[in-house]
């Protein structure tokens, strides 16, 4: 029987990029209506700013910056790392869209359409909880 943790570890080992970020807000709470317009919520803007900062610090520490955008097609693997801020009742699907949008915003992916992203997997694997929950984003190149 195949264990999910083994499959995820294998996919992560094949990734061309891997980064840990705080868990994004649910896609349901990323947008708000304001004076008849749809705008980004404060919670979403805060997460974007934190994710941007983590990415920039991560890139500054690297001896070789990531070539952007990552060549397509790719598989996006999102692994939830349990900790404060995550409940098992939370819907995994609702973290994918904000994460994909962030990858495009940072120029890591050219776009999040099916011309670039051929597969997206969100997974939760039981583990000892950390101080704060996080997601590990791994971009796995797929051959044409």
pTM equals 0.88
CATH number for the domain spanning 34: value is 3.30.1330.70
Name the domain count of the chain: 1
Burial classification of residue 6, based on how many CB atoms lie within 10 Å of its CB (0-12 exposed, 13-18 middle, 19 or more buried): exposed
Judging by DSSP bridges, how do beta strands 31-34 and 37-40 pair with one another?
Answer: antiparallel
Say whether 51 sits in a helix, a strand or coil.
Answer: helix
DSSP code for 10? H
DSSP code for 91? -
Note down the domain range covering 72.
4-141
CA distance 105 to 61: 21
pLDDT in tens, the chain (144 residues): 668 888 888 888 888 888 999 999 999 999 999 999 999 999 999 999 999 999 999 888 876 777 778 888 999 999 998 888 888 888 898 999 999 999 999 999 999 999 999 999 999 887 777 788 899 998 998 876
């Amino acid at each position: 029987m195949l264990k999910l943790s083994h499959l995820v570890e294998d996919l992560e080992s094949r990734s061309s990029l891997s980064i840990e970020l705080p868990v994004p807000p649910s896609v349901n709470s990323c947008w708000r209506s304001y004076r008849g317009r749809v705008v980004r919520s404060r919670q979403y803007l805060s997460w974007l700013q934190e994710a941007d900062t983590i990415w920039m610090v991560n890139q500054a520490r690297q001896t070789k910056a990531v070539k952007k955008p990552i060549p397509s097609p790719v598989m996006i693997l999102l692994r939830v790392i349990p900790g404060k801020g995550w409940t098992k009742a939370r819907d995994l699907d609702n973290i994918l869209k904000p994460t994909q949008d962030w990858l495009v915003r940072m120029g890591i992916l050219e776009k999040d359409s099916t011309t670039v992203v051929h597969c997206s997997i969100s997974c939760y694997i039981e583990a000892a909880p950390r101080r704060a929950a996080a997601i590990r984003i791994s971009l796995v190149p797929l051959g044409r």
